[in-house]
Amino acid sequence: MILKSRKVAIYFGLAIIMMMMPILPATITASTTSELKQNDNIDTNERTASYVETAKNLVASNQDEDKNLKKCLFNGKAIASAELYVEVKASPEDSSETVGKLFEFNIADVLEQNYAWTKISSGNIIGYAKTAMLCFDEEAQAVAQLETSITGSVITDSTSVYSNTTENAEIINSLTVGTPVTPVEFIGDYIVVKLDDNVLGYIIKSNISIDYGFQNGLTIAEEEAKIAKEAADEAARVKAEQDARAAEEARIQAAAAAKAKQEAIRQQVIQRTKAGTDFTYNPTMQVSDSDIWLMACIIDWESGWQPYEGKLAVANIILNRVRSSRYANSVSGVVYARNQFSGVCDSSGNPSAKFAERLAAGPRTDECIKAALQALSGVNNVSNYTAFITTGSANYSAYSDFMVIGDHCFY
């Protein structure tokens, strides 16, 4: 590791300097004892000062080297600062072909830089952009801190995290592939990271992948493809909205038509019952127009394709239950009783979604309304029976009395 080996070399150089300090002679024949001491003191002080100064210079040089090894995360990076885009040219000339564009806050690697033009690489673009339209290094990092988040991720397993960058630095953690870290800065071969517990650590930078939070620029072909896709997506969005509006309008119209049909049939029922032109109510049975509608719909639900006698029989089963103390004393109470008419109500005793559709659309034949009205007028073709079942499921030996009409057994 470069940083560690340079520090070792500096410390080793200091040791060599100290070992090479000359040993002063014990006597000099041309001088007296007092002169010798005086000269010895002067010479020693001068030499010591020289050695100390040399050591200071080496230490200062080492500190400068450490400082020079520190780089911001955007060292060698550039960010487009134009509000729209920066044109990337094939050569550093305004008249050169435009090979791509860096849009606002797109990121690029700096390959070469001079006063007017900077050669960059961004995604599939390699070319020249005007230097004045780019932010570099610390300025680019300042932009990133305002516009996005810089994140890092471990890309090698068992990645060591050191306490510092010295040769014998303690390993304070070991990270697995995919572990997120927050990058801070580069120091030589290392990247300073902030771990989850806000502790700073040092990791060999080849073990970390940095996401700078900015997108790459686009080649001219990529931009054209993007524009075409955006146009297609917008056209699809507009069409989807139009289709949704058309479907909603069709649904509203269909609902209005169904409601109108339902209302027409309802009015027909009301007119026929109130006028008494066809049938009269059984005086002992009090029902509402809604009850008549409900009876017609349940008759259709249970025996819509049975012969008319079968429809009339179902209508009388409902009325016989209303009269019986074993069942509810209303048409709706009988129809919506649990486990009585298959698929008619949900677990809460409310109309099922399918039966609600039948109520909305109304009975499919006029015979269902006729059977309901005729049963209410007193025409009964099943005596006092209160149940019915399909002939295929009937257990005839269990019934004391029964009658088969169409595909149903009434008992």
Question: Using H for helix, E for strand and C for coil, what is the string for the chain?
Answer: CHHHHHHHHHHHHHHHHHHCCCCCCCCCCCCCHHHHHHHHHHHHHHHHHHHHHHHHHHHHHHHHHHHHHEECCCCCEEEECCCCEEEEECCCCCCCCEEEEEECCCEEEEEEECCCEEEEEECCEEEEEEHHHEEEHHHHHHHHHHHCCCEEEECCCCEEEECCCCCCCCEEEEECCCCEEEEEEEECCEEEEECCCCCEEEEEHHHEEEECCCCCCEEHHHHHHHHHHHHHHHHHHHHHHHHHHHHHHHHHHHHHHHHHHHHHHHHHHHHHHHHCCCCCCCCCCCCCHHHHHHHHHHHHHHHCCCCHHHHHHHHHHHHHHHHCCCCCCCHHHHHCCCCCCCCCECCCCCECHHHHHHHHHCCCCHHHHHHHHHHHCCCCCCCCCCCEEECCCCCHHHCCCCEEECCEEEC
Contact criterion met (CB below 8 Å) for 371 and 279: no
Q: How many CB atoms lie within 10 A of CB 99?
A: 19
Task: Indicate whether 188 pLDDT > 60.
Answer: yes
Least confident of 20-29, 37-46, 300-309, 316-325: 20-29
Question: Cα–Cα distance between 48 and 69 in angstroms, integer?
Answer: 31
The whole-number pLDDT of residue 8 equals 28
CB within 8 A of 293, min separation 6: which ones? 266, 269, 359, 362
The pLDDT mean for the chain works out to 81
Contact criterion met (CB below 8 Å) for 205 and 188: no
Q: Record the tokens describing residue 139, joined without a space.
A: 């300025």
Task: Indicate whether 305 pLDDT > 60.
Answer: yes
pLDDT digit string, tens, across residues 239-285: 999 999 999 999 999 989 877 876 776 676 556 554 444 444 455 56
CA distances from 5 to 1, 8, 62, 218 (A): 6, 5, 12, 42
The whole-number pLDDT of residue 290 equals 85
Rounded to the nearest 10°, the torsion over CA 68, 72, 78, 79 is -150
The whole-number pLDDT of residue 13 equals 40
pTM of the model: 0.47
pLDDT digit string, tens, across residues 200-219: 999 999 999 999 999 999 99
Contact criterion met (CB below 8 Å) for 214 and 134: no
Q: How many CB atoms lie within 10 A of CB 236?
A: 10
- Going by C-alpha positions, the residue among 123, 130, 124 that lies closest to residue 96 is 130
- Going by C-alpha positions, the residue among 211, 82, 47 that lies closest to residue 55 is 47
Mean pLDDT of 312-333: 93
pLDDT digit string, tens, across residues 103-161: 999 999 999 988 899 999 999 999 999 999 999 999 999 998 899 999 999 999 999 99
Percent of the chain whose predicted confidence (pLDDT) is above 90: 56
Mean pLDDT of 322-338: 91
Half-sphere exposure of 349 (CA within 13 A, CB side): 5
